[in-house]
Amino acid sequence: MRGDDVTIFAYMQILLPTYFRICKDAAVKAQLLDLPRPYLVFLGEDGDLPFAKTAFGLRDWAPGLCLGELVCPGAKLSIGLRPLKPRDAHALGARSVVIGVANIGGLLKETWIQPLLECLEAGLDIISGMHGRLDSTTVLKTAAQRHGRRLIDVRTPPPNIPIATGRKRSGKRLLTVGTDCALGKKYTALCLEREFRKRGVDADFRATGQTGILIAGSGIPIDAVVADFVAGAAEILSPDAAESHWDVVEGQGSIFHPAYAGVTLGLLHGTQPDVIVLCHQAGRERIMGLEEFRTPDIAEAIELTLSLARRTNPKVHCAGVSLNTSHLSAAAARTVLAEHSTVLQLPVADPMRGGDELARLVEACLAY
């Protein structure tokens, strides 16, 4: 090694640890969001309901933060919240309207503009989790400035995210993973965190998507992070903790998804999970939206996920399976759960149904 190379190497040894510390400190502070609550939930127009995952998530997991729902004029859709006009919602205490729809492409529809303008005029900030930024719509930006309101894009990662170090961190981590997208990873993580706390276990839900962030009030939108820094963001999201503490991390995408496998792998390596819970929807045989690709067999999915996860945590194991049976009757669901558990020799539960199956899954998670 030449003299100049030795000098550069020495400087790197001194400066890099400081660089990583500064970046991580800044990012940790940035992940705590100042979100104006409670919310009025905007559902859009007829036809938007299938894309209202954010609205349903808020209704199911943060009902105390949702004062009501708002739709476009003439629309006949609802998620079961009381309908409110913007001024009525503000009078009842609402401080923002949340766009509860994440449509294909992630851009505002022209038909949404007028209801959102009425929200600004009524004194409500606007919160969006879509890819398109609110201030790119000139009429909303101008109106927000005129009324002194904020346009808040939660799908904005914090600055100064470092690359991952792979360093082993203290505390315990659970990551929900899946055979596909949109089948229950967030709901499973939220349910497990709640069950851990019921048992007196110190646990935190770590949000990685816009809906989870709106529920928790903090997190990092992993799918908006530049690819090189996804694993680093996951390290920030689940920092050193007490040995008995659990971070329950919301999974994203699937390592089997032709479009989203990259973000899933970065999250898997950066989280360094001690435990994974594999999520699947009973009966789903094809990747949603890309039907030419099959979903993997559950056992196949567990095996490959563990193999990849061992890169940063050789001791990782699968505690069990979260099976979405929402489309089945109660009796049929219990039968399917029992059949899968027998075949896989693992606890298999639908967290939203609870019961003995969920208790066995939780116990297996905490047995690490």
Write the pLDDT tens digit of every residue in 191-247. 999 999 999 999 999 999 999 999 999 999 999 999 999 999 999 999 999 999 999
Q: How many CB atoms lie within 10 A of CB 279?
A: 26
What is the spatial distance between Cα 72 and Cα 117, in angstroms, rounded to a whole number? 12
User: Is residue 208 within 8 Å of residue 267, measured between CB atoms?
Assistant: yes
User: Is residue 321 within 8 Å of residue 340, measured between CB atoms?
Assistant: yes
Distances (CA, A) of 303 to 281, 296, 300, 306, 316: 18, 11, 5, 5, 11
Secondary structure tally for the chain: helices H, strands E: 12, 13
What is the spatial distance between Cα 245 and Cα 66, in angstroms, rounded to a whole number? 30
What is the spatial distance between Cα 187 and Cα 333, in angstroms, rounded to a whole number? 17
pTM of the model: 0.89
Give percent of the chain above pLDDT 70: 91
Read off the amino acid at residue 56.
F
What is the spatial distance between Cα 181 and Cα 264, in angstroms, rounded to a whole number? 10
Amino acid 306: pLDDT: 98
What is the spatial distance between Cα 20 and Cα 169, in angstroms, rounded to a whole number? 15
Where would I find the H helices in the chain? Answer: 3-30, 53-61, 86-91, 113-121, 138-147, 185-198, 210-216, 230-237, 261-271, 298-309, 330-344, 355-366
- Residue 259: pLDDT band by 50, 70, 90 thresholds? very high
Q: Exposed, middle or buried: residue 118 (CB in 10 Å: 0-12, 13-18, 19+)?
A: middle
* pLDDT tens column, 146-194: 999 999 999 999 999 999 999 999 999 999 999 999 999 999 999 999 9
218 bridge partner residues: 32
- Residue 32: pLDDT band by 50, 70, 90 thresholds? low
Residue 278, pLDDT > 90, answer yes
- Domains of the chain, earliest start first: 39-153 (3.40.50.720), 172-366 (3.40.50.300)
Distances (CA, A) of 22 to 110, 160, 210: 42, 8, 26
